[in-house]
Amino acid sequence: MPKYEKISNEIRRRIKEGLYSLDEPIPDEISLAEEFGCSRMTVKRALDVLVSEGLLYRKRGHGTFIVKSAMLNGLVNVVSNETLGLTRLLEGRKVTSHVITFEVLFPSDEVASHLCINANTPVYHLIRLRNVDGEPYVIERTYMPVHLIPGLNETVLHGSIYHYMTHDLGLTIAGSHRKIRADKPNELDRQYLQCAPDDPVLELEQVSFLNNGEPFEYSFSRHRYDKFVFVTVSTRR
């Protein structure tokens, strides 16, 4: 683990435990550099992490301060904008999957363009219902190029595709582009998510890509509106 990460972890811990006052700046960068026995640039980088988490803000010519609302709202523990499969997202709760559709087909124009492949490249088309502690939670419709994720089968689909990709195939997920919207329930939502006709769903459309740049997944995850909140932090440049 790099030094700047150790430092940011340590400072995050101090903030959580209330070791720094909310009304004064935390120690200045040069003092922190001396304390941690490193250069000022390394401290700055460590603080960058916490600023981007919405935990700290800086005021030029004044100092670096703790964001009060982050403290009092328990956001200290929220890791935002993660690219996590559902299985890891809800650690500690029992996630099961019911496979509704699992087939291979040629992609539509829309799917092909989002996955940056041509119309002759086979893709998996799969629909899964994910249950948390036995209750329907989210239904996912996913398209993935077959050649990127070889060997997908029902056993994998009942567990975590992300785990299969990272552990068994040795792939690395780099990130994703996401769109979040609200929608009316469709046939599948009503049937599997047990949505009432007037229950909205929270849809997350995303294109995820590997660390070799290939988009490997184009998916629509539709969540029960009463069981999912998307949390994020926004900071000015």
Write the burial class of residue 173 (CB in 10 Å: 0-12 exposed, 13-18 middle, 19+ buried): middle
Residue 8 interacting with DNA (CB under 7 A): no
Which of DNA, a second copy, none does residue 44 bind to, with CB < 5 to 8 Å depending on kind? DNA
Q: Which residues ranging from 46 to 65 are in contact with a second copy (CB under 8 A)?
A: 54, 57, 59, 65
Select the span of 9-17, 143-151, 153-161, 198-206 touching a second copy (CB under 8 A): 198-206
* Window 51-110: residues binding DNA (CB under 7 A): 58-64
Report if residue 114 touches a second copy, rule: CB under 8 A: yes
Q: Which does 232 bind (CB under 5 to 8 A by kind): DNA, a second copy, none?
A: a second copy
Instruction: From the list a second copy, DNA, none, pick the one residue 158 interacts with, judged by a Cβ distance below 5 to 8 Å according to partner type.
Output: none
Q: How far apart are CA 152 and CA 146, in angstroms?
A: 8
Distance, in Å, from the CA atom of 58 to the CA atom of 55, rounded to the nearest integer, reads 10
For the record, the structure tokens of 207 come out as: 């294109």
Least CB distance to DNA at residue 226 (A)? 39
Q: Which does 105 bind (CB under 5 to 8 A by kind): a second copy, DNA, none?
A: none
Residue type, 126: L
User: How many degrees, rounded to 5, is the angle at CA 79 between CA 47 and CA 234?
Assistant: 70
The phi, psi pair for 192, rounded to 5°, reads: -100, -40
Task: Tell me the C-alpha distance between 64 and 56, whole Å.
Answer: 7
- Given candidates 38, 90, 100, 116, which one binds a second copy under the rule CB under 8 A? 116
Residue 199 in the binding site for a second copy (CB under 8 A): yes
Beta-carbon contacts of 153 under 8 Å, excluding residues fewer than 6 positions away, are none
Name residues contacting a second copy, limited to 205-224 (CB under 8 A).
207, 209, 211-215, 223
For residues 31 and 235, which CB has a smaller minimum distance to a second copy in the complex?
A: 235
Nearer to a second copy, 54 or 124 (CB): 54
Number of residues that bind DNA (CB under 7 A): 24
Binding mask 39-58 for DNA (x = CB under 7 A): xxxx-xx------------x
DSSP 150: T
In terms of phi and psi (left: phi > 0; alpha: psi -120 to 50; beta: otherwise), the region of 44 is: alpha
Record the tokens describing residue 40, joined without a space: 């000022």
Q: Which of 27, 38, 44, 81 binds a second copy (CB under 8 A)?
A: 81
User: Which residue carries 């435990």 as its tokens?
Assistant: 17
Structure tokens at 132: 């948390």
Sites of contact with DNA (CB under 7 A):
2-5, 25, 28-31, 37-42, 44-45, 58-64
